[in-house]
Structure 1
Amino acid sequence: MVQILIKNGLVYDPLNSINGEVMDLGVKNGKIVDPSEVNLNEAVVVDASGKVVLPGGIDIHSHIAGPKVNVGRLIRPEDHYLTNIPHKPPFKRAETGLTVPNVFRIGYDYARMGYTFVAEPATPPLKTRHTHEELNAIPMIDKMAFVLVDSNWIVLDLIQESRRDMLTAYLGWLLYATKTYSLKIVDAGSDAAWMIKGEGLSLDDQVPGYNLTPKDIIKA
């Protein structure tokens, strides 16, 4: 039974209306308990004086996996072989990369900063299988992903044809098929404009090839 006593930390816990109070916390079997429940003869005592103690951090928007991250790795090969932290078996994998870290460093760095959960906010449907492979390789933190739909041609076709029921069904299937948690719309229609015309869009510009504007896509 692992027991820990964290002493004199500056505690922030909004759920329990604790806003920067110096106090002790007990940990028993992986759960926060009253310090009186901790056996001091068996516990690890941590002096957290001058340090902040708070629930695990949540990053709701961080590009940690997927094709755009791998493009960054491809254009910075020197970022990896010059920054290697060796593998320490059996507990720790090798860390490389500072500009675009490898999957192991991503997990370790977030854990070092006190984060426990990170959301990957943009994965294209056709590449999401590999996004999940990368997420599964990131250690120590919980992860989820959002699937990109803002310039999806099927979505644009269904919006233009006013086929709302089919659009709803397609988006629901997309979430199921990609095992993602949310739909992501960013710069609606701009990818289509960039591929066709090599330029972006403002909110009321027409999407090339469609009788739609970014505003129409967002409203749909």
Structure 2
Amino acid sequence: MKRETILLVDDEKEIVELLSIYLCNEGYRLLKAYDGMEALACLQKEEVDLIILDVMMPKMDGLVACMKIREERKMPIIILSAKNTDMDKISGLSIGADDYVGKPFNPLEIVARVKSQLRRYHAFNKDSNSLGNDSKLSFEDLTIDTSKHEVHIDQQKIKLTPREFSILELLARHQGQVLSLEQIYDKVWNEPFLDGGNTVMVHIRNLRDKIEVDSKRPRYIQTVWGVGYKLDGPS
């Protein structure tokens, strides 16, 4: 069985070595880089299943690297940073990261988050019957192809992160039904809700920015104040 590969990017070598020990003990194959430029170069040569990415690094910081990675690749990205205010987390999630962990951290928490992200990512790339069998879902000019993991609006392909795609598919499978923040988080993140409300809202905002002509007057994803979100539109 092929070992899953994790690219660990941080200019603090002590952190790289510490996480390497924990992740290697879990059976993962580790690749190491110490700035954003090295990370991009590594991705040109290696197949990577997940990236752990520090923010404050020389040559190219983690936020710029994350944006460049997201231009072409969909694997999960976990940002690891000493900058851990709510605005820092929102910024990281807004540019395409799937998770954001502040420093200092517990290495066991990182391992748990890696496992959760990889479970979800691999589920995206399989034909899943958990939410139904239809591989294509259409609403007006919005088409979701779950077999190809693609979204088109008026035949124009829209680039979504795996997390954004999962949220959109979940809403589409429950067309017209209002899903709470907790329901969305439980289904998409596949872990207890706790304080995941802000995380869901950030991803919904990013999703709207990509699929709505005017994200302030959404055509597809509707907010039901005090309850949650729903996707409406004739099938």
TM-score (norm 1): 0.25
TM-score (norm 2): 0.24
More strand by share: 1
More helix by share: 2
